[in-house]
Structure 1
Amino acid sequence: MATGHADPQRRERILAATLDHIAEEGVAGVSHRRIAARAAVPLGSMTYHFGGMDDLLREAFTRFADQMAAVFEEYMSRAEGPEQAREAVTDLVHTLSDGPRRDLILTQELYTLAARRPEYQELTQAWMRRSRQLLERHFDPDTARQLDALIEGLALHRALDNGAPHSRALTSQAVLRITTA
């Protein structure tokens, strides 16, 4: 019988399948059997690679948070000074809100878990610290905290407003208001 070492991508497929499943059906619908079927792996691979459902969910959401932090870093690392940072924040809001619905859903599923369970709250706090550290390259800590919340709030509102999401000018105006005295 083959072990997990025979298929080095198996663990990665399981994590990707977990996130895909959560995006489509929510955390409540996750089971070892469903994830194994979606990842096209034997059911035994689930316990071989992960200590249990909590281990699988934490690792999948950690991967997701890392991916989202990398997007944030990609935008913010381009900025050289506050004016470019304001533009980067505006770009980021629109990229996140116009991006895959999957990311929006996964973010909300993670926040729901974090509202109930401390280990997920630690994960979201680490994600927020990373975001704020990037913003603090250009803004004071209080402004960075406000901007971090603004980015998520505006992105969520734009993504959920199917009728007429707010304009880039409105985003830019909100960013300017928070970042200037």
Structure 2
Amino acid sequence: MTVRRVEPGRRERLLEVATDLIAERGVARTSHRGIAERAGVPLGSMTYHFSGMEEILREVFTRFAEDASARFSAALAAASTRAEACEAVVAIVHDDSLASPRGTVLVHELYALAARDSAYRVITTRWMARSRAALELHFDAETARHLDALIEGLGVHRALETPPAGREVTRDAVARITR
């Protein structure tokens, strides 16, 4: 009789390892085998918990987008004035974990998948809708749409420019859109 070792939280840990590998290597170089090796579990454990890489990727990016949306919403909900909301937008661009090298890689990996596959576009569409709803607590719908695009665009620029633009550039752009 084979005794199966039960490890509570293994599935969650595998998703965390998958997220780390995607941030380090990219989607194309992340595999079941690599996740199992990094997590120190038998390869069969992967097939026990997941039907395939597609399920892992969808879960990783769904969780990533939901976490980012929750932080974004909380930052804007904490603002009690329009000026505070503008500063919250500046802080999101400069201080949120999406502004980190890890966050930048993960968001761009998700965007690349979403550009090719409608299943991932559902994730990004839901994420954008939540972002705009949070912005609409302080701004009209059209301004919220422009700010959402600004946040995304500045994130790309900050990730790729050397050195990245500072807060004053972001603050000026937010002020121009929200006038």
**Which position in structure 2 is the counterpart of 1:109?**
109
Q: TM-score, normalised by structure 2?
A: 0.93
Unmatched runs of 5 consecutive residues or more in structure 1: none
The sequence identity of aligned pairs, in percent, is 53
Residue in 1 that maps onto 2:169: 170
Q: Which moved more, 1:26-35 or 1:101-110?
A: 26-35
Q: How many residues align?
A: 177
Any idea what the Cα deviations from partners look like across 1:12-51, whole Å, max 9, x if unmatched?
A: 1110111111111111112111111112222111111112
Tell me which residue corresponds to 2:69: 69
Kindly indicate whether the alpha-carbon contact (under 8 Å) linking 1:115 and 1:121 is maintained by their aligned counterparts in 2: yes
The one-letter code sitting in structure 1 at the alignment partner of 2:45 is S
Find out whether 1:2 has 2:1 as its counterpart. Answer: no
Question: 1:100 Cα deviation (Å)?
Answer: 2.6
* 2:72 paired with 1:84: no
Q: CA deviation at 1:98?
A: 8.3
What is the Cα-based RMSD across aligned positions, in Å? 1.5
Looking at structure 1, the residues matched to 4 and 99 of structure 2 have their Cα atoms a distance apart, in angstroms, of 39
TM-superposition CA deviations, 1:113-135 (whole Å, max 9, x none): 00000000011000111111100
Partner of 1:154: 154
- Are the equivalent residues in 1 in contact too, given 2:98–2:107 (CA < 8 A)? no
Q: Contact between 2:77 and 2:137, CA under 8 Å: does it hold in 1? A: no
Pair 1:98–1:49, CA change in 2 (3 A):
closer
Misfit runs of 4+, over 4 Å: none
How does the TM-score come out when normalised to structure 1?
0.92
Which is further off, 90-99 or 37-46?
A: 90-99
Which residue type is aligned with residue 60 of structure 1? V
> How far did residue 99 of structure 1 move?
4.1
Q: Which runs of 5 or more residues in structure 2 are unaligned?
A: none
